[in-house]
Structure formats: C-alpha cells, structure tokens
Amino acid sequence: MSGKIETLGVFGSGTMGTGFAINAIVNGLTVRLFDTSCESIERANDVTALVRAERAQRSFVQTLTKTLRNSTRAWRFSIVIGI
C-alpha cells in the first residue's frame, strides 16, 4: 500500500459535492458520487464530463503547440547551420 489517495468518494452531488468532484478530477483522482437523487447525480456527471472533455482538449492543444514550437526551432536551426 503506497498511501497515495487515488479515489475520492463524495456524498451529495449538489453544488458543493460537484465542486469537490471537479477539483478531484482536475487533480487526477477517480471520483465516486453518492446521492439519494438520481437527477443530482446525472447533473453532476454531465458537469464533470464537460470538465474532462475541456481538459482533454486543452491538453491536446498544449501538446500540439509544444510540438510545433519544437519542430519550428529545429527547422530554423537546420537552416542556420546549413543542413
């Protein structure tokens, strides 16, 4: 047992519970939501799915930008040294 927290259980999927879930997801944890209202859980799942999609898109754009910057630098370097 490593002592590292990997999963967070959130009891109540209202405004605060959804906020806790989003914070945990952003920090790489798996989240389990519990509530007596199925509608609240569905709403929280919709919100957290949007957060995941936004983070995935942002990560893709950042990776692509970094790759393009690096390849542009390599291309410029090759011109300068005449390769």
The helix/strand/coil state of 40 is helix
**Residues 8-19, mean pLDDT to the nearest whole number:** 89
pTM (2 d.p.): 0.60
Q: Is 33 buried (19+), middle (13-18) or exposed (0-12) by CB count in 10 A?
A: buried
Express each pLDDT in 17-27 by its tens digit.
888 888 888 88
Are 29 and 8 a contacting pair, CB within 8 Å? Answer: yes
**Shortest CA distance to 33 belongs to which of 25, 23, 21, 50?**
21
- The per-residue pLDDT of the chain, averaged, comes to 79
Express each pLDDT in 45-78 by its tens digit.
888 888 888 888 888 777 777 776 666 555 554 4
**Angle subtended at Cα 44 by Cα 40 and Cα 47, rounded to the nearest 5 degrees:** 140
